[in-house]
Amino acid sequence: MRVLLNIIWLVLCGFWMALGYLVAGVICCILVVTIPFGLASFRIANYALWPFGRTVVDRRDAGAASCLGNVIWFVFAGLWLALGHVFTGVALCLTIVGIPLGVANFKMIPVSLMPLGKEIVDLP
- The tens digit of pLDDT for each residue in 65-111 reads 888 989 988 988 889 889 989 998 999 899 998 898 899 899 999 99
* Structure confidence at residue 2 (pLDDT): 84
Q: How confident is the model at residue 32 (pLDDT cuts 50, 70, 90)?
A: confident
Q: Is 84 exposed, middle or buried (0-12, 13-18, 19+ CB in 10 A)?
A: buried
Question: What is the C-alpha to C-alpha distance for residues 99 and 60, in angstroms, rounded to an integer?
Answer: 33
Q: Is residue 116 within 8 Å of 58, Cβ to Cβ? A: no
Question: What is the C-alpha to C-alpha distance for residues 44 and 91, in angstroms, rounded to an integer?
Answer: 21
Judged against a pLDDT cut of 80, whether residue 15 lies above it is answered with yes
* Structure confidence at residue 91 (pLDDT): 92
Cβ atoms within 10 A of the Cβ of 114, count?
19
* Structure confidence at residue 29 (pLDDT): 92
Judged against a pLDDT cut of 90, whether residue 123 lies above it is answered with no
* Structure confidence at residue 42 (pLDDT): 94
Element of type H or E holding 38: helix 35-49
